[in-house]
Structure 1
Amino acid sequence: MKSLHDQLANYAAYHRDARNIATHFVGIPMIVLAVVTLLSRPWVAVAMPGSTHTLALSPALLCALASAAYYLRLDLRLGLLMSLLLAAALQVGHQLTVLPTGAWLGWGLGLFFVGWVFQFVGHYWEGRKPAFVDDLIGLIIGPLFVVTEALFMLGLLPTLRQRIEAQVGPVRRGGSSALSA
């Protein structure tokens, strides 16, 4: 398994234009929420031992657990943060499952479609194809990339940022994007 730095540097090589990164701040969360929403049906309520609470067991939960385990293997702190974000997405996705089927599908498919429009506009500006075209692992690294870019913008993880930029170069501040790493 590649290291956190290796995964992020490989993904970052496809994302050096600040406008592309900005579109990813919108598109990737939409796509994650769409996938979680669409995979939240069907679900089964599973009683929690020693509690009056139940757990909504769904394909979305299983995918989120597998993703969280992967993120935790890459980095404990980022893995915990990603796990919390996935838990929030699961909560929203589960709430959307109670809508009538048409509304549930509308939200899920609508978020998915619009999220990908943002992605492809960003890659048009970048002048480069999306990372997942060359390596499917890019589909799971994308959400982690967005989170780490947000942390970089907050001045956190400077060593990781410097290592990635030393390997793939700094973000190009093209266009009128206010979001630049």
Structure 2
Amino acid sequence: MSPAFELLVRYARYHRDQRNVTMHLVGVPMVVFGSAMLLARAPLHLGGVTTTPAWLAFAALWLWTLSRGQFLLGLATTLFTAALAWAAHGLVGLSAMSWLTLGIGLWAAGWLAQSVGHYYEGRRPGFAGDLAGLLVAPMFVVLELLAMAGLCRPLVARIEQAAGPTTLRDLAQPLAR
């Protein structure tokens, strides 16, 4: 189980173009929200408690996030994704067609936004060889948002020292391999 710093450095190495980071700030929450919507509709009855697959999946994500060695970042990520999951659960009353269209639409649009970001990056997403990146993405987004608010700057500086600074790739240059 890798600590948050190592995971964030690995993730950041695939996200050095500022346009890619921006697209992930939009796309990752859309994927999280869309996933929560799609998993929120079916109730599960477990020993007298009613929950949903979304809450179970997010509980696992939260435990994983909180156990990476950056507790405050893990807590902020948990609160951020909990807010998205809670909002998604508020939409389960939509008609089946509206719920499915919105859930799939947000999920797909979020992935599309990230794909556009990786075009700017000039690199394929790193999760193809490292599925942990799918779990790290919300933490990366929350860290970027906290940094914009002037928080977590020492952690961001350490990550940038290891992964390199954010840039704007010259789109006229060949893609990195």
1:15 aligns with 2:19: no
Range that drifts further, 135-144 or 148-157: 148-157
Q: What's the offset of the Cα at 1:174?
A: 5.1
Q: Which runs of 5+ in 1 are unaligned?
A: 49-54, 176-181
Pairing of 1:1-181 with structure 2 (within 5 A): 1-44=1-44, 57-74=51-68, 75-173=70-168
Range that drifts further, 81-90 or 164-173: 81-90
Q: What's the offset of the Cα at 1:155?
A: 2.2
Q: Distance in 2 between matches of 1:99 and 1:27?
A: 23
- When the two structures are aligned, how many residues end up with a matched partner? 169
Q: Secondary structure at the match of 2:67?
A: helix
Q: What is the alpha-carbon root mean square deviation over aligned residues?
A: 1.9
Q: Distance in 2 between matches of 1:82 and 1:30?
A: 15
Q: Distance in 2 between matches of 1:19 and 1:162?
A: 19
Q: What's the offset of the Cα at 1:172?
A: 0.4
Letter in 1 for 2:34: A
Identity %: 41
Letter in 1 for 2:57: C
TM-score, structure 1 as length reference: 0.87
Partner of 2:173: none
Deviations 1:110-165 (A, max 9, x none): 00111111010000010001121120011110111011011122222122112111
Q: Secondary structure at the match of 2:21?
A: helix
TM-score, structure 2 as length reference: 0.89
